[in-house]
Structure 1
């Protein structure tokens, strides 16, 4: 699924289409894309806290879409993500070195 979103964003970057929201984001630039990623990530958190699965599914798709646009804008390939993920497989987390997350 994420690969399809990424490929669609890459296609829009390489072959702009008038009226495309993706091209609107590319035209507006990095700051607009980052703003949308932040907004959508916040909406994922709110949906999860509200215990709404439908809302969580919707907002997760939105954040994945905007992340794909960001990655294309910055020239990050899916292969680079795969390579990084591969370095993490089987590694044990060092929980003692992580900061505690405050819950309210």
Structure 2
């Protein structure tokens, strides 16, 4: 049986990691058997992230691009509304007025890499 993966590059997701336990919200850059590449933020200071972005201090948010080995991934969720609760992307847009896809866009350095 061949199941279609619901996770694609560009999708917004929540990743729960173990050892140490972390929760990240971000955009999938790539997904393979070895792991997942994500551009995002740690969810532990979620209210602070929203506040910094809302007040124009987004450059102070610890936004980063990471490769997460699959052995650390406990759970991967699509960021979608559930049981009447909005998605994190909807909350981000509502509280900051900014598009989450734009906020989580690739850093300028990766868009302008030179080939050796």
TM-score, with normalisation over the residues of structure 2? 0.25
The structure that is strand-richer by fraction is 2
| Structure with greater contact order relative to length (CA < 8 Å, sep ≥ 6) | 1
The structure that is helix-richer by fraction is 1
